[in-house]
Amino acid sequence: MTCLKALILAGGFATRLRPLSCSRPKTLFPIVNKPLLEWIFQRLANDGVTEAIMATNALTQFYIKQQAPSKHGLKIKFSVDPAKTPLGTGGPIKKAEKLIGHDEPFIVLNGDIFADLSYRELISAHNKTGALATIALCKVEDPCRYGVAELSEDNHIKRFIEKPTIDKAPSNLINAGVYVLSPKVFDYIPAKKPVSIEREVFPRLAEEGKLFGHRINGLWIDIGKPGEFLQTNKIILDAEAKNLKLKRAKNFELKTPVAIEKDAMIGENSVIGPYAILGKNITVGKNSQISNSVIFPYVEIGEACQIEGALIGEGAKIGKHVKIGSGCIIGDLAKIKDNLTLSEGVTVCPAKEVTENILNPKGNC
């Protein structure tokens, strides 16, 4: 194999992760204090990929260049959707045709999934069958939210059924958002327009008997919604716990598993964890409790706060004696004044100043 390439789709708008996605693309969301994209690069590089092409929009390209995640030795190129026309999940593949070239099959993956899979295995499965596309299929308990594959015995995909009811689901194998494509697939994608690979390209390939599935067994999570993003952090925190160097607790308590960057300042008698992930430059006052939460960098949390099950965006300032309930999302740079309660599921917009209790989850932007 000469040069193994991967195209990473990362130009969507991540509407389900708002407001945190207003100022960062999904692929840069932190998973245990490392951008998801860095985890992806690492896995691709380990499996012999040499070049990653980022299919983005202009803003995503800007954020990725600005954050400059570690490349793990990969050569990185960008292919940017036209400003007025997001190209969907198929159009960016056609747009990157010249960068990808026609020499070898290549990998395409969604930039918003955490997948512990072997790309090598996926490629060798692809090369054995003569398929034009091989889709990684992941077994899930509830397939009804996804595209579900109907497979024949030799792993041909007969069709996908989008979001079926449980009685109509032909299997519990879903499209994991990772594919190996042969260059011939470029002929199936119209140029310069939005195309959905799932809805427009795969059905044609399936009809022609050129679409195969390959089951993957490792961890697979899509970080598309706030609960899934938090859950991904918790699962990876569990998996990584033994590799994490813990800050030595002086006058505060750490309940593992927990991840805290070295520069965190934590006040006495505070209890951090279990499942608290604190990014860089975080300050926590005394007597505060934080658990089951992801705290983005540069957040200040006052004394005697209780934060459980929340996502707190970068640079937010939380006053003293504040209670933040489960499912709350605090946008970047928001300010929550002293002595307030935000009950379950409250979302606060970026830079918003909250001066009163919010006991109703809606309408705070």
Active site residues: 163
CA distance 32 to 280: 11
Task: Decide: is 55 part of the binding site for ligand GTP (CB under 6 A).
Answer: yes
Query: Which residue type occupies 87?
Result: L
State which residue, 92 or 279, has the beta carbon closest to ligand GTP: 92
Q: Select from 63-71, 80-88, 99-107, 203-211 the region that touches ligand GTP (CB under 6 A).
A: 80-88
Q: CB of 308: closest distance to ligand GTP in angstroms?
A: 25
* Three-class DSSP category at 63: helix
175 binds ligand GTP (CB under 6 A): no
Using CB under 6 A as the binding criterion, the count of chain residues that bind ligand GTP stands at 21
Asked whether position 145 contacts ligand GTP by CB under 6 A, the answer is no
Figure out which of the listed residues 90, 111, 315, 325 binds ligand GTP, where binding follows CB under 6 A.
111
Min dist. Cβ of residue 96 to ligand GTP (A): 9
Exposed, middle or buried by CB within 10 Å (0-12, 13-18, 19+), for 141? Answer: exposed
CB of 81 to ligand GTP, least distance (A): 5
Sites for ligand GTP among residues 24-53 (CB under 6 A): 26
Look at residue 189 and give its three-state secondary structure: coil
> What SS3 class is residue 210?
coil
Strand partners, 106: 181
Q: How far apart are the first and last CA of the chain?
A: 52
Site stretch for ligand GTP (CB under 6 A), options 88-96, 99-107, 161-169, 229-237: 88-96
Does position 78 interact with ligand GTP (CB under 6 A)? The reply is no
3-state secondary structure of 185: helix
Q: Which residues of 265-292 are buried (b: 16+ CB within 10 A; e: fewer)?
A: ebbeebbbbebbbbbeebbbbebbbbbb
Please work out, in degrees rounded to the nearest 5, the angle formed at the alpha carbon of residue 362 by the alpha carbons of 361 and 363: 135
Per DSSP, the chain holds a count of helices (H) and strands (E) of 7, 31
Using the rule CB under 6 A, which residue among 30, 92, 273, 302 binds ligand GTP? 92
When asked if residue 232 is in the footprint of ligand GTP (CB under 6 A), the reply is no
Under DSSP, the state recorded for 249 is P
Q: Does 87 bind ligand GTP (CB under 6 A)?
A: yes
Rounded least distance, CB 66 to ligand GTP, Å: 17
Using the rule CB under 6 A, give the single segment among 7-15, 36-44, 116-124, 259-267 that binds ligand GTP.
7-15
User: 354 pairs with which residues across the strands?
Assistant: 336
Task: Using CB under 6 A, list all residues that contact ligand GTP.
Answer: 9-16, 26, 55-56, 81, 86-89, 92, 110-112, 224
